[in-house]
Amino acid sequence: MVFDWFRRQFNQPQAPSTAASEAVTESSESTDDAARSTTEAVEEPQTAAIAEPPPAEPAPAIAEDYLAWAKAAYQNLKQQEAPAETSTTAEAIAATPALSDAQLAEEPAGAEAASSPEEISTETVAEPEPEPQPPAEPASFFDLAASEREARLEQLAAEAIVEPEPEPEPQPPAIAEPAEPQGLVFDDDFVWSSEVLAAQGRRPEEISIEEIDWLSSLRRGLDKTRRNLVNQLKAVVGQGPLSGEAVETIEALLLQADVGVEATDRILSQLQDKLRQEALPPEQAIAYLKSLLQQLLDQPLEESGRYILAPEKGRLNVWLVCGVNGVGKTTTIGKLAHLATKSGYRCLIAAADTFRAAAVEQVKVWGARSEVEVIANPGQNTDPAAVVFDAIAAAQARGTELLLVDTAGRLQNKKNLMDELAKVRRIIDRKAPDAIVESLLVLDATQGQNGLRQAQVFSEAAQLSGVALTKLDSTAKGGVALAIAQDLRLPIRFLGAGERIEDLRPFSSYEFIQALLDG
């Protein structure tokens, strides 16, 4: 069954006391009902009286609920892996060529020597007696001289001064390859990911290992920002109404996390109003802060009318991907193509970055990795609009559902290149008037506030409909997502949190905030 990442279930989080317990309870109830029906089918009813239900037990603690949910999910995923391993073994056995009757009848050479245990002789074989050795002759004068010479050489070698060997020159560190997924492991990341999914109303049997793997990568990518924020915020917001010093501390923390001035002012204002009304303990204050940040991220999504950017099945969708040089634009296209094919969409890539050296070859490599065909012009410095024109014709002829257009990287202050980007957009509107056209801006999370000005200019030329935030690893500051939502009013559509081809997924504000502030 294909797992459609574009339309993955994004539910509003339920109350912590009931989210995980309901899923685990219903799962156990279904098991009890099955066992009860089996028992009733075997045993004859002894009485018509209806037994009273046992008294309701108090609800377990939240941590126990989520832990039980995580264990149930882990067991379910392990059961999904077991049939796959069994089928692989069965296929290997089936692929082994069967021996014919003639081959089974043949006996290898020398088989008669060990045909059966009865034919093997049991007589004891007598061991030969050792032959007497002649008496040793006394050592000669030359042998004694040779032994004394060897002893003298060993003594000189022991007394000699040993020069230290030269130390090897330091070698440059090798470039680490992207880490491969290590399989299903019940660790802290698995429990945390399960808690996030359970809080959104998911059941243990509804999740996949891909979701667990993605949430674990996202949490690790925001680890640096989370460690710097959470502990200091708890120390400040848990002291009642915010003093002037506390406000300055929170303001500095948010600005250091690249949240931005406008978003920081809004967060501080709402947080102060809440803490004036009631004194909150640190955990509740952090929970309220999470809700503020999630509302800030969801506002552009509400204004756009779509919480998830997904291609429409059975119709041509054209996604124009743009950005400045070095933000990971071509890599993002390759990961989007992989995401689309794994989600069951027919995909095609247009290599319209005709200016950068080896850009077409790079996107072809990503196309091969994601098993998606690339439409490119064999010439150099060709017109990008012509490549897009040919790619749209190919997509229409092949029934493609998603066409990803790789545009040339450009600085936002180069007017001629920005005009060319607008020309590509006009070609798309003219050649495919019935297509659903989206423009995604790729932003590097490590650039922080420098990416905001880029987005402002690109939004005018390409009519942006969303942002793909990339390179959200241990070196980035996750607060830039809040600045994008507040200052630019642009919805974040995709999030990249690693170097693997699987490390780009549709954006979820709830999951992002939990990874950002859940210690």
- List residues forming the annotated binding site for GTP: 323-330, 406-410, 470-473
Determine the Cα–Cα distance for residues 299 and 489; give it in Å rounded to an integer: 8
DSSP 135-184: PPPPPPHHHHHHHHHHHHHHHHHHHSPPPPPPPPPPPPPPPPPPPPP---
| Residue 447 near residue 473 (C-beta atoms within 8 A) | no
Distance CA(491)–CA(464), nearest Å, equals: 10
With a CB cutoff of 8 Å and minimum separation 6, the contacts of 7 are: 308, 310, 343
Whose tokens are 């080896």? That residue is: 358
Residues annotated in the binding site, as ranges?
Answer: 323-330, 406-410, 470-473
* Cα gap 508→431, rounded to integer Å: 33
Q: How many helices (H) and strands (E) does the chain have?
A: 17, 8
Q: Where are the alpha helices (DSSP H) in 238-328?
A: 244-256, 261-277, 282-304
- CA dist list (Å): 230 to 224, 227, 235, 237, 286: 11, 6, 9, 10, 8
The one-letter amino acid at 152: R
Taken in order 308, 300, 315, 440, the sign of the CA dihedral is negative
d(CA 488, CA 304): 13
The backbone torsions φ and ψ at residue 230, rounded to the nearest 5 degrees and listed phi first, read -60, -55
Q: Contact, 410 vs 360, CB < 8 A?
A: no
Q: What whole-number distance in Å separates Cα of residue 428 and Cα of residue 465? A: 15
Longest dimension (CA), the chain: 114
Query: What token pair was written down for 132?
Result: 């007497």
Beta bridge partners of 469: 443, 495
Nearest to 290 by CA among 40, 12, 514: 514
Instruction: State how far the alpha carbon of 225 is from the alpha carbons of 11, 221, 447, 491, 515, in Å.
Output: 26, 9, 15, 21, 10
- Given a contact cutoff of 8 angstroms between Cβ atoms, the answer to whether 333 and 321 are in contact is yes
How far are the Cα atoms of 137, 140, 326, 407, 493 from residue 446, in angstroms, in the given order?
A: 85, 83, 11, 21, 18
Q: With contact defined as beta carbons under 8 Å apart, do 342 and 3 qualify?
A: yes
Tokens 């124009």, residue located: 320
Element (H, E) at 440: strand 436-444
Q: Could you give phi then psi for residue 248, rounded to 5 degrees? A: -65, -35
For residue 76, the Cα-to-chain-centroid distance in whole angstroms is: 20
